[in-house]
Amino acid sequence: MKYERANDLPPRLLTENTPGFAWSAERTGGTAREGFGGFAVLEPEKKPVAADTLFDLASLTKPLVTALLALSALDSGEIDLNEPVAEAPPPSFTMLDLLRHQAGFPPWLPLYGKVDKPGEVFEWLLEECPREGPGRKVAYSCLGYILLGLLLEKRLKVNLDTLFRDRVLNRLGIPASEALFNPEGGYRTRCAATELKASHEAEMARQYGTTPPPFRNSIAWGEVHDGNARFMNGVAGNAGLFATLNGVKKLCGAFHGGSGFLSAQALNLAWASPHPPGGVRRTAGWKASDSHGWWASSVLPPGSVGHEGFTGTGAWMARDGEETYILLTNRIHPVHPGVDFGSVRAAFVRAARRLK
């Protein structure tokens, strides 16, 4: 597919709502477009966004790492996603429940205020984390995906970042320079900075009598913004992945049938949901575009899926690669603006769909 560097998205749409950005729009039968602009860092110095800027993907880690690994392990016969998690006390749930956000776990809690060290997270989530009965409703949960990442490590006996490198990056031919956890050393200067002091999460954690773990370099530049992922040494099932625009495009491509990365069975789990229309619908890794109350419902074609990240990232796709839209930003840098980003994401997809 031919790519064309373009600046024909409405410039004010992104420049007025985020310091820096990179975007891509692909449609079957048309020329793919992409572009970038603004600043990857405003403080403590100014650095413009470049083609190889690494963005903190935040919750895009869920589909692009954790779900991909779970679905590929299903294909290899190493994991039965429908088998109840043996370590969990009643009421039982499956890994597929976790993938679909229907295992009953709450959306968020500061794990760093519940346990003393990362090695205790697995047991706390299973034994002490409050949860409802599985399958009753879809409730988006970062905690459920953290547990899913830990279950993958235990079942496959390899750390999540190593699994991702060996089973996803190497198979898709993606170099570590385009997608990685913990971008230390020379990679740090290529990163887009996020909320420097993590004040937004600090306010949330204060309600539980705790504070997020500090950044190694005192600010959120080259280190995951999410406090729970940071507590878990930068590698978690809910957040932690940094990637370039090109890296995200390739990872999204793994969910297309023509890639050969996933079987038809696994792809069906990623794209389809058994829940009837009218509520929130989650597939194995993604949110269905017809989910009630989601801005994408009126913007994307029927049958699409998508996912967003707290830092200002997002990816939205129609099945079989007919349409793919990616937006990477650092919209919470240097401080969280305190406004919802949904309207900007919707305007981006509308503008991207109009490109010829």
Q: What's the pLDDT score for residue 275?
A: 76
pLDDT digits 0-9 by tens, 116-138: 999 999 999 999 999 998 877 89
Does residue 44 have a cis bond before it (omega within 30 degrees)? yes
Q: What's the pLDDT score for residue 11?
A: 67
Q: Are strands 32-41 and 3-5 parallel, antiparallel or unpaired?
A: parallel
| 158 CB neighbour count, 10 Å cutoff | 16
Confidence category of residue 4, pLDDT binned at 50, 70, 90: very low
The conformation of residue 259, written as its DSSP 8-state character, comes to G
Asked whether residue 148 carries a pLDDT value surpassing 80, the answer given is yes
Confidence category of residue 279, pLDDT binned at 50, 70, 90: confident
Q: What's the pLDDT score for residue 271?
A: 97
pLDDT digits 0-9 by tens, 70-81: 999 999 999 999
Q: Which residue has the higher pLDDT, 319 or 141?
A: 141
Does residue 63 have a cis bond before it (omega within 30 degrees)? no
Asked whether residue 2 carries a pLDDT value surpassing 50, the answer given is no
194 vs 207: CA distance, rounded Å: 23
Q: What's the pLDDT score for residue 277?
A: 65
Q: How far apart are the first and last CA of the chain?
A: 14
Confidence category of residue 3, pLDDT binned at 50, 70, 90: very low
pLDDT digits 0-9 by tens, 212-268: 999 998 889 999 999 999 999 999 999 999 999 999 999 999 999 999 999 999 999
Q: 26 and 321 in contact (C-beta within 8 Å)?
A: yes
Domains of the chain: 3-60+167-354 (3.40.710.10), 66-159 (no CATH)
Q: 309 and 286 in contact (C-beta within 8 Å)?
A: no
278 vs 297: CA distance, rounded Å: 11
The average confidence (pLDDT) of the chain is 94
Q: Which of 23-27, 60-64, 160-164 has the lowest mean pLDDT?
A: 23-27
pLDDT digits 0-9 by tens, 84-128: 999 999 999 999 999 999 999 999 999 999 999 999 999 999 999
Enumerate residues 6+ apart whose C-beta is below 8 A from 181. 160, 161, 164, 224, 234, 235, 240, 241, 242
Q: Which whole number is the average pLDDT over 308-327?
A: 95
Q: 323 and 183 in contact (C-beta within 8 Å)?
A: no
Q: Which residue has the higher pLDDT, 113 or 278?
A: 113
Q: What's the pLDDT score for residue 8?
A: 58
Q: Which of 12-26, 156-170, 267-281, 294-308 has the lowest mean pLDDT?
A: 267-281
Q: What's the pLDDT score for residue 1?
A: 39
Q: Which whole number is the average pLDDT over 295-318?
A: 96
